[in-house]
Amino acid sequence: MSEAQALPRGRRYYLRTLSMFGACLATTTAGTLYLFSTYGPALSRRLHLTSTQANVVAISATYGQQLSAPFFGWLADTVGPRVPSAFAALASFAAFSALAYTYQGTLALPSWLVLPLYMVMVGLAAQAANMAAVTTTTKNFKQNRGTAVSLCIAFFGLSPFVLSQVNTLFFTAGDQPDTFGYLRFLSFLGLGTSGLAMLSLSVVGFGPSRFRRDVPPGFVAAAPSDSSSGLLCDSASEGEEDEVRGLLEHGQPHGAASTPVAAYGATPKGSVQSAPGVLRLPAPSVGSATAAPQSAAGAADGLDYDTARDLGGMAFVRDPEARLLALVIFLCAGIGVFYSNNVGTMVNALYYSSTDSPDPSAAQRLINHHVAAVSLGSFGGRLVIGFVADTCKRVWLLPRSVILVVIVLGVALSQVVAGAAETLPVLLVGSALTGLSYGSMFGFMPTLVSVWFGTRHFGSNWGLLSASIGFSGQALGAFFGHVYDSNLPSQDPSQCARGSCYRDAFILSLGAGLLGLLVAVILVRRRGDRRRENRRQWEIEEVDPAPYIPFVLAE
């Protein structure tokens, strides 16, 4: 048992809550990655960038984020969350400061190719903060891990909404938006939030398992101090002994369920272990009628046939299911990155082509509204998907792979709406749907990885999977820039009536979404085979994984 797990329960709760607060702060910094559309158009105008060049600059942040994911995941697994958080604070401050002074003209720009280097640093800071937060949260929660991780990641999605509104309220008041002031604000924000996260994040662990309280009638919980203590220490920690004492002090409920309770771990069916004054009844068969209601209860008994492995390193890379999951992420998650980086260009095209007297500040406010819609949708998806997935698994026993199919279907539908939009209100709906589906995917995937492949190597595994997003985002963004520049060589958005200059780019994004849906369906079938194999193995080994309370005959 680790030093943190040896702490009293109240202290562990305090540290876990403080770490959750730090994780939410860390993902606030990570969310600045998606703010390019709030300052990108102004930066492009000031520095005379084409749409293709602007896409290269924007996607560089995604490259910095995704390609560094395996390293920062490994770092969070190895040395803990504080070193990545410290790096995120310094890198975010340096990157946004460089962008601000380049925009102002104070920092010389020998070539526009320097801008991608600054954006790579933005991506590195975002990934360091994100990995520190998600890895810590995954290792601190077990029963409600999906809800906890999605809450943490939700702030990743909420951050662009809040910061785009800050831009609207404080940096677009005049005739021209104050892009320099906005970029300076982002630099200090990253320094402050990641600095606080560095001080508050810590890996506490799951803590001792909670005891089941269904002691059979006529028995009471055994005190750790009596002759049963040796048996108790075989499979319970000091923290669990404290819980037994608590049960004795507060009384044992009468009329509890008469279901026999077995020891946690590999206890053969039909065995009876005894000690002076202590009775431990034989465990029911996993496939028996007695065990069936418990299995339906879900995580309370730990009978989750969706997981039985703890993979990492090359074993994870060679696993067919890990490869299929990486393909789904590659095809679908890049859509959200591509859309977030180019929604500003789309809004400008629809706005300038539909008005005779355009106002740059009004255009910037419209861009902020769409960035906010993407962000709110992403926040909602990340926040809700963990609770929905946990509930569907626990109550209806719905496989997680089926939930993945529903999310990928939402990604494809969002591209249909966004690609067909000819007015700003319809595009706003497409922005919200894209954010919702993208947020649901990123809120669900970390939990999926931790459940299917274990938590020991979670940081490294999740880093390897998410590294592919940069390539698909780059491909989709480059195709968008090529279509836009080909149809609009003058770079005058007023000539792009009803989005005709970029609509063909959505053919590729929709195709990627549909292909991802096909791969997800294949994954559903493979996971079904995996669950049946897990159940068969557990029945062969005759293992009942339920925790236990030692109990003695009542006098």
Pair type for strands 219-221 and 551-553: antiparallel
- pLDDT at residue number 548: 44
Cα 297 to Cα 224, 385, 403, 530, 549, distances in angstroms: 29, 20, 19, 21, 19
Q: In what order do the strands lie in the sheet with 278-279?
A: 219-221, 551-553, 278-279, 274-275
The pLDDT of residue 470 is 67
Residue indicated by tokens 């109240």: 10
State whether residue 300 is helix, strand or coil: coil
Please report whether residue 240 resides in a domain: no
Q: How many residues does the chain have?
A: 555
Helix (H, G, I), strand (E, B) or coil at 264: coil
- Amino acid making up residue 23: A
**225 occurs within a structural domain:** no
Q: Has residue 245 been placed in a domain?
A: no
**Domain residue limits at 46:** 9-207+312-538
- Residue found under tokens 């942040």: 61
Q: Read off φ and ψ for residue 554, nearest 5 degrees.
A: -75, 140
Using DSSP, state whether 551 is helix, strand or coil: strand
Q: Per residue of the chain (555 residues), what is the pLDDT tens digit?
A: 455 556 777 788 888 889 888 888 888 778 888 788 889 888 988 888 888 888 889 888 878 887 888 899 899 888 989 999 999 999 999 999 999 999 998 887 778 889 999 999 999 999 999 889 888 888 887 666 767 777 787 777 778 888 888 888 899 877 778 999 999 999 999 999 999 999 999 888 665 444 444 444 444 444 444 433 333 333 344 444 444 445 444 444 444 443 333 333 334 444 434 443 344 433 343 333 333 333 333 333 344 566 556 788 888 989 999 999 999 999 998 898 889 888 989 999 999 998 888 888 888 889 988 988 988 888 888 878 878 887 887 788 788 889 999 999 999 999 999 999 999 999 999 999 999 999 899 888 888 888 888 877 888 888 888 777 767 877 898 899 899 999 988 888 889 999 999 999 999 999 999 999 999 999 999 988 877 877 777 666 554 444 444 444 443
In a domain, 223, yes or no: no
CB 375: neighbour CB atoms within 10 A? 28
- Give 220's DSSP letter: E
The pLDDT assigned to 84 comes to 93
82 falls within a domain: yes
Are 208 and 240 a contacting pair, CB within 8 Å?
A: yes
3-state helix, strand, coil in the chain (%, to 5): 70, 0, 30
Query: Tell me, what's the pLDDT at 408?
Result: 95
Q: How many domains does the chain have?
A: 1
Distances (CA, A) of 181 to 178, 272, 502: 6, 72, 31
**Tokens 């836009």 map to which residue?**
484
pLDDT of 502 reads: 94
Non-local CB neighbours of 10 within 8 Å, separated by 6+ positions:
none
The DSSP secondary structure of 146-159, one letter per residue, reads HHHHHHHHHHHHHH
Residue 86 lies in a domain: yes
238 in a structural domain: no
**Is the separation of the CB atoms in 123 and 61 below 8 Å?**
yes
Rounded CA-CA distance 499/282 in Å is 70
Which CATH number goes with the domain that contains 351?
A: 1.20.1250.20
Task: Tell me which residue has tokens 């931790």.
Answer: 450
Is the dihedral angle over the CA atoms 112, 93, 435, 128 positive or is it negative? positive
Residues forming beta bridges with residue 220, ordered by sequence position: 552
At residue 165, the pLDDT reads: 84
Residue 551 phi, psi dihedral angles, 5° rounding: -140, 155
